[in-house]
Structure 1
Amino acid sequence: MQPFTEVFVSELIDKLVIDKVGNRVGRVGDVLIKPEAGFPKVCGVEVKRRRETVVVSDDHVAMLNKQIVSLNIVREDVSHGDLTGDELYLCRDLLDRQIVDTDGARVVRVNDLKITQVNDGFRLVAVDIGFRGLVRRLGAERALRRVAGMLGRSLPEKLISWGNVDLITPDLSAIKLSVSQGKLAALHPYDIAQIVGDLGTQERSAIFQTLDNERAAETLVEMETEMQASILEGMSKDRAADILEMMASDDAADVLNELPDDTAAELLELMEREEAAEVEELREYEEREAGSLMTTEYIALPEGLTADETINELRRLAPEAETIYYIYVVDAEEHLAGVLSLRELIIAKPETRLADIMRTRIITVGDEAPTEDAISIIRKYDLLAVPVTDGDNKLVGIITVDDVIDAVIPPRKRNVLNFS
């Protein structure tokens, strides 16, 4: 093989292919690679001839550059190479594909692909995601570089190493780009939700297949209920039920209300009985009622506990609670008797009973009160959460400031706001 610096796939397409004595063989139609870790080796070149298209094995490729492709065999010996079926055609399979840039939490497009010669052959080394890649494919790169030079500007390349690209699905319904040390699952759920929102249905499903159930639940919460429902419907019923169990009860109720009744009933049947009962209870509230915003995942303890006993209980119960900024105190009949903050609990003497340190003047909202009342109370009193009681003053849930934000600013609108 003759050495060369580099070449982009777009520069190879339709280039003349000659044999070892200079006879015309055909023109380049595509370039093939074998999927593998790192930088995959080019395993063949598709050559378009007058009456047929053949794939020439890389063993017979002597030169590969912007001007010409030459073979180390004569034209009469050119035949279709053996294919195993798992090869990727760079133009057909990869160009214009969407890829997920987990470093920038965005979706980008493959505009071109760079190949270079590395000792034992030609290898795919980089993805061009920039404007220059598009211009190159249009055949206008040289002219644009000339104009940019006259204006004292450069035309930078935006390349990403192929070593940071993962194929999420074998059929290429989605491609994941993992830049630097970033990994998709390590992103904040909000960023994952933004990425998923920019993808098509197949790509969304492929992304969620890479997430464990806990991260999938956290990501769904950051999305609109319509999209949540669409994603869950594309999963197996068992996995969808497992993810719903990991969501806050109010979030699970919201997405189930978006699903067809028979689908929702089937998923509830697959959920653990206790979680399903909580979700079903929340689904009974009308959208305009405060109860529709609340979660049943809170911590309520009897007033006879000491501060030390309460802290031990918090260690046991905290994983099941949405928030522990406030500890709610109830009597034997579950009536709301008082409330105290986590700070008040921590600074209390270990033997102090909750009844002695709790505040009995409690700001609450009724479960059937208008949602505007709950929003107004949290705003007015600058609360992180407000307890929700029924007609008998029994504690039935809490509404957190996060629930209020979701009610006032839906996820789609939040995505376009700049909080920096």
Structure 2
Amino acid sequence: MSDLIPVPTSASTLLGMRVVDSAGHPCGRVTEFAVDLSRDATHIAGFVLGLRSKGKMRSTFLPVDQVLVPRRADKVLRTGSKPTPYTETDDLLLLDRDLLDQQIIDVDGRKVVRVNDVNLTWERADQSDEAKGLRIDEVEVGLRGASRRLLKGVSAQAVEAVSSKFPSRAIPWDFVDLIDRDPARRVRLRIEQDKLSRMHPSDIAAILEELAPAEREAIFTSLPEETAAETLEEVEPKMQKALLQGLDSERAADIIEEMDPGAAADLLSELSDEESEAILEEMEPEERQDVEDLLEFSANSAAGRMTTDFVGVALGATVADAIEVLRAFDGDADTITEIYLTGEEEHLKGVVALPRLLLAAPDKSLAELSEWRIVSCTLKASDNEVAELFDKYNLRSLPVVDHHGHIAGVIHAEQVIAQLREG
């Protein structure tokens, strides 16, 4: 559309503006901007007009292409067509109702912001005043947009003179993910899942913490299971519990299965016995057993903090053997910093740091790479004892052994940091 001449405007400028026909007779005032999401989500399809007649307010619809583009000093919109009766449909996004003053997710900025105004652009053909389109360019989330709203009713020139003194804080329309509500006040989303899923779980968690419960639940339930699990581990315990309670047992179980077993056990321990049991019954047998074993321990002990997802290999294994085990590991690979060597009856016999493994030849014996001065703790070690070991030996992870010397699990540094923050 290179032949179009752009004319900037905004929702706050047009909202409430009078519309007249070619004879100057009133057609009503602009009360809404309708966007037909099923056809074109980047342009205003038409205006909803409100006109009081015989003491009653009636609404009509006027397509954008039946309006003349206003000049800078104009205080009215002109049309040569007669508006038609307005009927609301589910496909319509109404800017005033669904966007202005609403919360949106600024995916690029990784935060929740409030919309103060919407920047629009009239598109008109050369040598013509007829509108060819009214494009949605960006949403204003700063003081410039807020000042326009506050000065509603003042002349356009005066509004522009004041608002231009504030810096523009705008988000391109393509980058906006709207949390909007339909007339029945049910939450529905226009979230681009690929954008949301590419965000770091801690950023998604920060967004959830800024939202009201209904919007928070809607966002969380829309996440893929793996992303939901990673996000759940990032939010504070009270919110974890609320989010999980908003799900049915089957969906909750699918998410719990994607979590670290230790984190899953901590979360389930916060629920009632009935809620926890219902979720456990929906889990796969192996994952359920891992979590149930951890639920037997105090949350403030090493056993309660540890994860059972770790990589252990036989004492006589080679580097090539360990790499194959790593490839088959179905836990969170990002947490692996060390590989544990076990002797007869699964006794802990050595620890190999991952960098040493990666730098060694494939046929190298792991026993030759192992650190034999093993630092470990018992299942009943307290949080303070665990923290002291990490601090004293500058550990990346700490194996937890039972009274037989078998490795039962591992505590990672981030778990200790989380524990210290809780304290």
- Matched residues, number: 400
Provide closer, same or farther for how the CA distance between residues 243 and 82 of structure 1 changes in structure 2, counting only shifts above 3 A. Answer: closer
1:333 positional shift? 1.7
Provide closer, same or farther for how the CA distance between residues 57 and 316 of structure 1 changes in structure 2, counting only shifts above 3 A. Answer: same
Which of these residues, 67, 87, 99, is aligned with residue 92 of structure 2? 87
The residue type equivalent to 2:67 in the other structure is A
The residue type equivalent to 1:262 in the other structure is E
1:330 positional shift? 1.9
Q: Equivalent residues in 2 for 1:29-68 (5 A)?
A: 29-35=31-37, 36-50=39-53, 51-58=56-63, 61-63=66-68, 65=70, 67-68=75-76
Where structure 1 has 5 or more consecutive residues not aligned to the other structure, the ranges are 414-420
Per mean C-alpha deviation after superposition, the further-off stretch among 202-211 and 316-325 is 316-325
Partners of 2:374 and 2:150 lie apart in 1 by: 69
- Tell me the SS of whatever aligns to 1:183: helix
1:294 positional shift? 0.6
Aligned to 1:7: 9
Which of these residues, 315, 327, 330, is aligned with residue 303 of structure 1? 315
Partners of 1:193 and 1:320 lie apart in 2 by: 19
The residue type equivalent to 2:50 in the other structure is V
Asked whether the equivalents of residues 349 and 372 of structure 2 are also in contact (C-alpha less than 8 Å), the reply is yes
Partners of 2:323 and 2:65 lie apart in 1 by: 73
1:83 positional shift? 4.5
1:157 equivalenced with 2:162 (yes/no): no
Which of these residues, 94, 105, 109, is aligned with residue 110 of structure 2? 105
**What TM-score, normalized to structure 1?**
0.85
Q: Could you tell me the percent identity over the aligned residues? A: 35
Partners of 1:167 and 1:282 lie apart in 2 by: 40
Provide closer, same or farther for how the CA distance between residues 284 and 114 of structure 1 changes in structure 2, counting only shifts above 3 A. Answer: same
- Tell me the SS of whatever aligns to 2:91: coil
Q: Equivalent residues in 2 for 1:237-248 (5 A)?
A: 237-248=249-260
1:175 positional shift? 5.7
Per mean C-alpha deviation after superposition, the further-off stretch among 257-266 and 343-352 is 343-352
Which of these residues, 277, 293, 297, is aligned with residue 285 of structure 1? 297
Aligned to 1:416: none
Where structure 2 has 5 or more consecutive residues not aligned to the other structure, the ranges are 125-131
**CA displacement 1:317-338 (0-9 Å, x = unmatched):** 3656663322212223222222
Provide closer, same or farther for how the CA distance between residues 131 and 320 of structure 1 changes in structure 2, counting only shifts above 3 A. Answer: closer
Aligned to 1:381: 393
Aligned to 1:70: 78
CA RMSD after TM alignment: 3.0
Which of these residues, 259, 262, 282, is aligned with residue 274 of structure 2? 262
**CA displacement 1:164-214 (0-9 Å, x = unmatched):** 334567848366688xxx922212111121112111222223323443211
Aligned to 2:137: 125
Asked whether the equivalents of residues 31 and 47 of structure 2 are also in contact (C-alpha less than 8 Å), the reply is no
**What TM-score, normalized to structure 2?**
0.84
Partners of 2:219 and 2:334 lie apart in 1 by: 26
Partners of 1:322 and 1:281 lie apart in 2 by: 23
The residue type equivalent to 2:250 in the other structure is D
1:204 equivalenced with 2:206 (yes/no): no
1:49 positional shift? 1.5
The residue type equivalent to 2:239 in the other structure is M
The residue type equivalent to 1:330 in the other structure is T
